């Protein structure tokens, strides 16, 4: 008997779990309303709170976008030619940031990434720096930390460069998953009720 109800129990547990995950991840978003802000930030050394050499190669301020339970940052690299790769944390891993703007003449590049911790504290960023014209060639991989001053946040809707990755948010995906699981749940219940009726007949 209980076997029949197992899919229903699993689906319910899944929905409850997903909802819990959703609400725990929205906790940090409460301080800033949805919108775009300029924010001051600093690149700190990987293992101490001193300002990193890399700090000079990033234009200030950056832009912070708050959208529901998500936060994104856009910042511009000077000497784009030298900074070959930039990676932001996603879970236990690092992922290449998205490039949303480039100006070859000015040698700048604007990148965007999601702030998993909402920039509530300094977070790591990996970079690969390669300066071919130096003798010997300067070629290093570093991990620095980015410290965003959330108190400096000033509303600035105009500056954000729209890109496809902020249009379709994880929240949308979550709602789709919940809808699909809920539909499966309804089908399971209907089938169960029907088979019960059949058995009685
Ligand atoms: C003009 C070319 C450059 C020279 C001559 C140079 C030189 C150096 C030297 C000597 C160090 C070791 C000294 C220390 O640890 O304080 C260092 C570390 C470092 N460099 Fe460079 N660098 C150059 C360009 C860059 C660029 C373009 C970046 C990144 C955008 C960068 C990022 C770093 C980082 C992250 C460290 C580790 C220490 C820290 O975070 O401050 N460097 N660099």
Does residue 21 sit in the same domain as residue 53?
Answer: no
Q: Is residue 31 a contact partner of residue 153, using CB atoms and an 8 Å limit?
A: no
Pick the atom of ligand 1 nearest to 134's CA: 2
Tokens (6 digits) for 138: 């300067």
Does residue 3 sit in the same domain as residue 55?
Answer: no
125 alpha carbon to ligand 1 midpoint, in Å? 15
Does residue 39 sit in the same domain as residue 107?
Answer: yes
Q: Is residue 165 a contact partner of residue 112, using CB atoms and an 8 Å limit?
A: yes
For the chain (length 201 residues), average pLDDT per consecutive 10?
A: 73 69 51 93 97 98 94 97 98 96 97 95 97 97 97 93 67 78 88 82 67
Pick the atom of ligand 1 nearest to 83's CA: 30
Distance CA 53, CA 70 (A): 30
Distance CA 11, CA 51 (A): 49
The CATH number of whichever domain residue 100 belongs to comes to 2.60.40.1850
Ligand 1, atom 43, residue with closest C-alpha: 53
Does residue 115 sit in the same domain as residue 174?
Answer: no
- The whole-number pLDDT of residue 178 equals 85
Distance CA 33, CA 167 (A): 17
Pick the atom of ligand 1 nearest to 52's CA: 41
140 alpha carbon to ligand 1 midpoint, in Å? 9
- How many helices (H) and strands (E) the chain has is answered by 2, 9
Does residue 95 sit in the same domain as residue 190?
Answer: no
**β-bridge partners, 66:** 35, 71
The enclosing H or E element of 125 equals: strand 123-131
Q: Ligand 1: residues whose CB is within 6 Å? A: 45, 52-54, 57, 79, 82-83, 127, 129, 131, 138, 142, 144
């Amino acid at each position: 008997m209980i076997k029949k109800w197992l899919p229903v129990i699993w689906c319910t547990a899944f929905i409850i779990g997903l909802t819990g995950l959703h609400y725990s991840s929205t906790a940090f978003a409460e301080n800033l309303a949805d919108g775009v802000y300029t924010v001051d930030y600093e690149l700190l050394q990987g293992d101490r709170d001193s300002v990193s050499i890399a700090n000079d190669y990033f234009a200030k301020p950056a832009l912070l976008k708050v959208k529901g339970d998500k936060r994104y940052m856009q910042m511009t690299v000077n000497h784009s030619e030298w900074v070959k790769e930039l990676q932001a944390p996603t879970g236990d891993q690092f992922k290449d940031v998205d490039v949303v703007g480039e100006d070859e003449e000015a040698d700048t590049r604007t990148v965007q990434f999601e702030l998993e911790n909402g920039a509530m504290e300094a977070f790591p960023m990996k970079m690969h720096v390669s300066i071919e014209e130096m003798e010997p060639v300067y070629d290093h991989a570093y991990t620095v930390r980015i410290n965003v001053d959330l108190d400096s946040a000033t509303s600035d809707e105009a500056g954000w460069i729209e890109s496809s990755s902020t249009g379709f948010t994880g929240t949308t995906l979550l709602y789709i998953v919940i809808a699909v699981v809920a539909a499966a749940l309804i089908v399971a219940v209907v089938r169960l009720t029907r088979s019960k009726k059949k058995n009685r007949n």
